[in-house]
Amino acid sequence: MFTGLIQALGKLKPLGNDQFQISCTSTNSHQILNDLAIGDSVAVDGVCLTVVSVLPQGFAAIASPETLSRTTLGKFPDAAVNLETSLRAGSKLGGHFVTGHVDAIGCLAASTPTANAWEMRFAAPATASAGWQRQIAPYLVPKGSIAVNGISLTVADCDADGNWFEIAVIPHSFSETNLRYLQPGSLVNLEADILGKYVAKFLRSGSQQIPEAWEETPARNLGEITPEFLAEHGFI
């Protein structure tokens, strides 16, 4: 589990097959390297990877074929990647819950600097629209959370069908992450808010799929979970 608050930047280098070397290159790399051990989880551009060896200035990790097919890992050798170590008990949760399990690949459609932010619009690549519509679009809501390359960001706006969304990036987030390297057409890893996924599932299934073991609990007596029910109890 991660927060989406990037701690450092690194460089990704394929080592062959499914193994990668991640070199920690930024001045704040100590946040990643301190206490790093084999078996630890590190989010690399929003992808949860397991450390298989610790190097003097980085680490090595292995990605499964499923991970390689659903993310941008390995598609751009020597690319700058965002790094975050896993959330520890008692740590501050300044972003939102990020699992490191990428839902879909998106692309930068436009980036416009303003007086105090960068307004960035993301959309689905032409070759991945079906996956986008299934995995991302249902969870895009204004003021909701989304992880872009592992960065916890707030959706400023999106269209009703979820074909695109916009974010406003403050100067600190822009300068300390690889967002500053993106150009129109650049691919990014996207992860929808896990809480939104569970709410959507409950809305679809109602009370029909509640296990029998829960039948005598107070939760069973609440009835079907509907938008009206959520609004009544302060969730909308």
| Annotated domain spans of the chain | 8-85, 104-194, 206-232
Q: Is residue 153 predicted with pLDDT exceeding 70?
A: yes
Note the pLDDT of residue 214.
Answer: 43
Q: Which CATH architecture has domain 104-194?
A: Beta Barrel (2.40)
Secondary element (H or E) of residue 30: helix 30-33
Residue 224 is predicted with a pLDDT of 65
In order of 34, 37, 48, 217, the CA distances from 27 in angstroms are 13, 20, 22, 52
Residue 220 pLDDT = 47
Question: How many Cβ atoms sit within 10 Å of the Cβ of residue 110?
Answer: 12
Residue 62, pLDDT > 50, answer yes
Say if 8-85 and 104-194 have the same CATH topology.
Answer: yes
Give the phi and the psi of residue 21 in degrees, each rounded to 5. -110, 130
Comparing 156 with 26, the larger pLDDT belongs to 156
Architecture of domain 8-85: Beta Barrel (2.40)
| Residue 191 reports pLDDT greater than 80 | yes
Write down the pTM of the prediction: 0.84
Per the CB < 8 A criterion, the answer to whether 121 and 164 are in contact is yes
Q: What is the pLDDT of residue 111?
A: 95
